[in-house]
Amino acid sequence: MSFSDMPVEVGPVFEGERIRSKQMYVELGGPKIEKHFELVKVKPAKEIKDDEVILIGPDLGEMEEGSRYPIGILVEVAGKELEEDLEAVFERRIHEFCNFINGVMHLNQRYTNWMRVSKTAVEKGFNSFKQMGTILIRLFKAELPIIEKAQVTMITSAKEIDKYYEMAMDTYKKRDERALGLHDEDVDMFYGCVLCQSFAPTHACSITPDRTSLCGSINWFDARAAAKVDPKGPIYAVPPGECLNELAGEYSGLNEMTKKRSLGEVDRIYLYSGMEFPHTSCGCFEAIDFYIPEVNGHGIIDRNADVKAINGLAFSTMANQTGGGKQMPGFNGISLQYIASPKFQIYDAKQEGLDHGLKLIVWMNSELKERVKQFIPEDLQPKIATEQDVSDMSELREWLKEKEHPIVSTWGAEEEEEEEEWEEEGGAMIPMGTQTMTVPGVGGGGGFKIILKNCKVHAESLIIKKIDSSSKRKKK
Ligand code: SF4
Ligand code: ZN
């Protein structure tokens, strides 16, 4: 496979490339655009025109510099050995392959996909989606040889994307629904995935029927299909081994796999806990389950939220805490599908005397609540607050008492007494097992790392300033 006919270089070496807003020519998809997606479909060979790239909407070179457009990427593939179960796994590779292109940054998946193309790439002549589509086709066929034919359709027209978007959402829904009825105890094989190690080198996902991968795009069926066709690939089978703790979802096989794949960084995982030995998070989780110490409950905010969470933090701020492949008690990257599982954070709930993980949830952003409503027990639904119901911790606490939220039963007399004190404090409280921050040395070299163990950090606001050495000198 060669890319010598392309104006930009292509290869895994460009995977970590970041394109900041100042360097970008255009942004495609992302949180500010309503409808966008990426989808892989397995088709009969006769329905595919091999190597064809179809563009619907304005081309890259015709786009206005500095603007945003919708993006739909539909990859249709054919091959004798292909089955529908492989679609999701192929689809996850779009992220990796787009990032191979020097001058393209790709984040997330499914309907949260977000890309930037750099000015430099466009100046070099990378000015057409036909080039991007061709690169994708070549990479798909080279890296996944069971794909014999591939065709790509790219949609950038806001008008035309509608019907494709609906089809994509429908496909995601069908995939998710299929996995709903299956539970961890029903199967004798689990799976692992290390596709995100290029960004989070110590992160390995455990994929079980009850814990769909945190990116939300690979469920147990998808992982099984991937491991079958490419057992030595990035998605592989993991024998569960011994169940060490049924309530927590601790399995010797998953512990061993995590230890090996995280290079010894993490050696113990509780599948059903966000507080003790939680699953690590890379960066592409669909939502964050975060602990709210003020009410001893949890909140969930999803990636698409355009509001701040009840703790005063935006998704992106909390995502920095949560991600990176570290074990972060109190911050857990999750898939929306996991919320539907009866095992959802059940270990944490039982520690508090509650019989369902969702009974820990006191706050969700309203759009997310609407989306996952069908999975929340009916009597609990009106008790979970959103940004439309409460705006700060004291209002949340009142709301929970008034609605008789099950979490109230976990408040001891002591906490009731503390009420006045925390109301006065306000601000954002970040519960953390361990906080690490790096203070770079002046001039870019050296510096030191501060590790605060078992701490609670309280801050009215967090201000990070770049040290401008010239202004510092002037002051002297
Ligand atoms: Fe694989 Fe997990 Fe990354 Fe999804 S989030 S691609 S399952 S490593
Ligand atoms: Zn990831």
pLDDT per position as a tens digit, 352-394: 999 999 999 999 999 999 999 999 999 999 999 999 999 999 9
Residue 206 lies in a domain: yes
Reported confidence tier of residue 415, pLDDT bands at 50, 70, 90: low
Which residues 6+ apart lie within 8 Å of 442 measured at CB? Answer: 467, 469
Backbone angles phi, psi at 75, to 5 degrees: -105, 120
* Domain stops at, among 144, 178, 212: 178
Shared-domain flag, residues 216 and 280: yes
pLDDT at 398: 97
Same domain, 204 and 173: no
Of the candidates 157, 178, 199, which is a domain's last residue? 178
Residues 38 and 146 grouped into a single domain: yes
Averaged pLDDT of the chain:
89
d(CA 36, CA 471): 44
Mark whether 74 and 149 lie in a shared domain: yes
282 lines ligand 1 (CB under 6 A): yes
Same domain for 164 and 41, yes or no, is yes
Of 93, 96, 193, the residue with max ligand 1 atoms within 8 A of its CB, to mutate for a pocket test, comes to 193
> Is residue 168 a part of any domain in this protein?
yes
Ligand 1 atom nearest to 214, measured from its CA: 5
291: nearest Cα among 279, 304, 305, 301: 301
Do 118 and 191 lie in one domain? The reply is no
Out of 119, 145, 178, a domain closes at 178
CATH of the domain at 193: 3.40.970.20
Question: What does the alpha-carbon distance between residue 275 and residue 348 come to, in Å, rounded to a whole number?
Answer: 7
pTM of this structure: 0.80
95 and 189 share a domain? Answer: no
How many Å lie between the centroid of ligand 2 and the Cα of residue 200? 7
In a domain, 376, yes or no: no
CB atoms within 10 A of CB 168: 23
Q: Supply the DSSP string of 97-166, one letter for each residue.
A: HHHTBTTEEEE--GGG-EEEEEHHHHHTT---HHHHHHHHHHHHHHH-TT--EEEEEEE--TTTHHHHHH
- Report which protein residue has its CA nearest ligand 1's atom 2: 205
Number of helical (H) and strand (E) elements in the chain, helices listed first: 13, 21
* In a shared domain, residues 163 and 201: no
Query: Does residue 417 have a pLDDT over 60?
Result: no
If one compares 431 and 167, the residue with the highest pLDDT of the two is: 167
Residue pair 431/268 in contact (Cβ under 8 Å)? The answer is: no
Tally of structural domains, the chain: 3
Tokens in use for 128? 């057409």
User: What's the mean pLDDT in 18-45?
Assistant: 96
Instruction: Give the pLDDT confidence of 114-138 residue by residue, as tens digits.
Output: 999 999 999 999 999 999 999 999 9
Does residue 191 share a domain with residue 173?
no
Residues 49 and 78 in one domain: yes
Residues forming a β-bridge with 74: 39, 153
Instruction: Return the residue matching tokens 């292909």.
Output: 82
Do 106 and 211 lie in a common domain? no
- 266 found inside a domain: yes
Rounded-to-integer distance, Cα 323 and Cα 314, Å: 14
**Token pair of 202 as six digits:** 């110590």
Q: Residue 420 pLDDT > 60, yes or no?
A: no
Shared domain for 117 and 246, answered yes or no, is no
pLDDT, tens digit, 9 for 90 and up, residues 227-261: 998 899 999 999 999 999 999 999 999 999 999 99
Q: How far, rounded to the nearest angstrom, does the alpha carbon of residue 78 sit from its chain's CA centroid?
A: 28
Q: Measured from the CB, is residue 334 less than 6 Å from ligand 1?
A: no
The atom number, within ligand 1, closest to the CA of 284 reads 5
Give, for ligand 1, the residue of 89, 214, 269 to mutate: max count of ligand atoms closer than 8 Å to Cβ: 214
| Position 16 confidence tier, pLDDT thresholds 50, 70, 90 | confident
CATH, residue 91: 3.30.1650.10
- Range(s) of the domain holding residue 467: 434-475
| Alpha helices in 209-343, H assignment, sequence order | 220-229, 252-261, 315-322, 336-339
Q: Report if residue 244 sits inside a domain.
A: yes
362 in any annotated domain: no
Mean pLDDT value across residues 32-53:
97
